[in-house]
Amino acid sequence: MVGPAAKRATVTTARTESGLSERRACRLVGLSRMAARRPEGRGEDGRLRERLVTLAGERRRFGYRRLHVLLRREGWAVNRKRIERLYREERLKLRRRTKKRVPREPRAGAWCPVMANQRWSLDFTVDALASGRPFRTANLKDDCTRECPAIEVDFSLPAARVVAMLERVGVARGFPEIVVVDNGPELRGRALEAWAWDRGVKLFFIDPGKPVQNAYIESFNGRFRDECLNLHWFTRLGEARRIIEAWRIDYNEQRPHSSLGYRTPVEFAALRAASGAQARAALRSLDGFAPRALAPEPHITATS
């Protein structure tokens, strides 16, 4: 792809050496006459282009919209269309993966939480070290603020490890009202059930074979694999833990999130603070779209 600056130079050469008119030279090169008359340097800031290429190299799975947000944070007074043009001229465009079409009708658990710690999502991902030995990650996400409070990494993650992670995060930031999980053996056991009972947390198990009912964490898993797991070659488990934790912190504090108006989850959490009364009022207005709680109900002792 030839940039506008190179086309302007070609037009100038054609007019001076071949004696072509401006109209004819622009038509042959494929450049408008207005662009040919544009002063050199206007719209072609070399430093901006260089910084854009550098950021795209550091954030290889970011599109021009997120790169534009990062540039604005650094103080560049530039609009999104200009970044898009430079992005395309530098051939930084990523191959877009096709998305599976999902039905639009309401589904179980399809309500939107309105405050932090109202609903968490939990799921597992699998990757492998350079030696081929697989390891697992337990990913936890706050569905309202999109924060990732923790990612547990190990070769084996039994129920006790999952409960310990939930307990650690709950002590640090408060326990959730609902946790959405799938039907894995680590999550169907007595350890998680006992923890939920002790902490007053409701468990919502999605229907088997319906990961779309846990869409928030599935979306997070896709970003996690695309921007972290697929871009690194882990040689040791300790290295994997260090890189994944660094990515988690960056995801919470630096990465612009499109569904949050390109704010970071931490920024959105600070703006989205809501009182418990507001949250309860929002839950009452869900009209049956709240997930069905599958945690054990209090036992009632019959009396004669």
Asked if 11 and 60 sit in the same domain, the reply is: yes
Per-residue pLDDT, 217 = 93
Q: Per the domain annotation, does 295 fall within a domain?
A: no
Q: Is the pLDDT of residue 277 over 80?
A: no
Per-residue pLDDT, 158 = 93
Structural domains of the chain, count = 2
Per-residue pLDDT, 272 = 75
Q: Per the domain annotation, does 70 fall within a domain?
A: yes
Sequence-distant (6+) residues with CB within 8 A of 284 are: none
- Listed residues 89, 111, 130: the one ending a domain: 89
Per-residue pLDDT, 74 = 87
Asked if 159 and 222 sit in the same domain, the reply is: yes
CATH assignment at residue 219: 3.30.420.10
Asked if 170 and 261 sit in the same domain, the reply is: yes
Quickly list H helices, 182-255.
Answer: 185-188, 190-199, 215-227, 237-253
Asked if 25 and 130 sit in the same domain, the reply is: no
* CB atoms closer than 10 angstroms to residue 299: 5
Mean pLDDT of all residues in 23-52: 76
The per-residue b/e assignment along 196-214, b for 16 or more CB within 10 angstroms, e otherwise, is: beeeebbbbbbeeeeebbb
Supply the pTM of this predicted model.
0.69
Which residue range forms the structural domain that includes residue 268? 119-284
Q: Per the domain annotation, does 250 fall within a domain?
A: yes
Asked if 135 and 262 sit in the same domain, the reply is: yes
As a whole number of angstroms, the distance between CA 243 and CA 201 comes to: 31
Asked if 135 and 222 sit in the same domain, the reply is: yes
- CA distances 197 to 142, 171, 203, 294, Å, are 20, 16, 9, 11
Where residue 303 falls (left for φ over 0; alpha for ψ -120 to 50; beta otherwise) is beta
Instruction: Give the pLDDT confidence of 223-239 residue by residue, as tens digits.
Output: 999 999 999 999 999 99
pLDDT interval class at 110 (50, 70, 90):
low
Asked if 78 and 202 sit in the same domain, the reply is: no
Asked if 197 and 58 sit in the same domain, the reply is: no
Asked if 146 and 269 sit in the same domain, the reply is: yes
Asked if 76 and 124 sit in the same domain, the reply is: no
- Listed residues 74, 89, 104: the one ending a domain: 89
Q: Per the domain annotation, does 105 fall within a domain?
A: no
Instruction: Give the pLDDT confidence of 74-107 residue by residue, as tens digits.
Output: 888 888 898 888 888 888 877 666 555 555 555 5
Quickly list H helices, 157-210.
Answer: 159-173, 185-188, 190-199
Asked if 74 and 125 sit in the same domain, the reply is: no
Q: Per the domain annotation, does 96 fall within a domain?
A: no
Q: Per the domain annotation, does 94 fall within a domain?
A: no
Q: Per the domain annotation, does 290 fall within a domain?
A: no
Asked if 128 and 271 sit in the same domain, the reply is: yes
Q: Per the domain annotation, does 207 fall within a domain?
A: yes
Residue 273 contacts residue 170 (beta carbons within 8 Å): no
Q: Which helix (H) or strand (E) holds 49?
A: helix 46-58
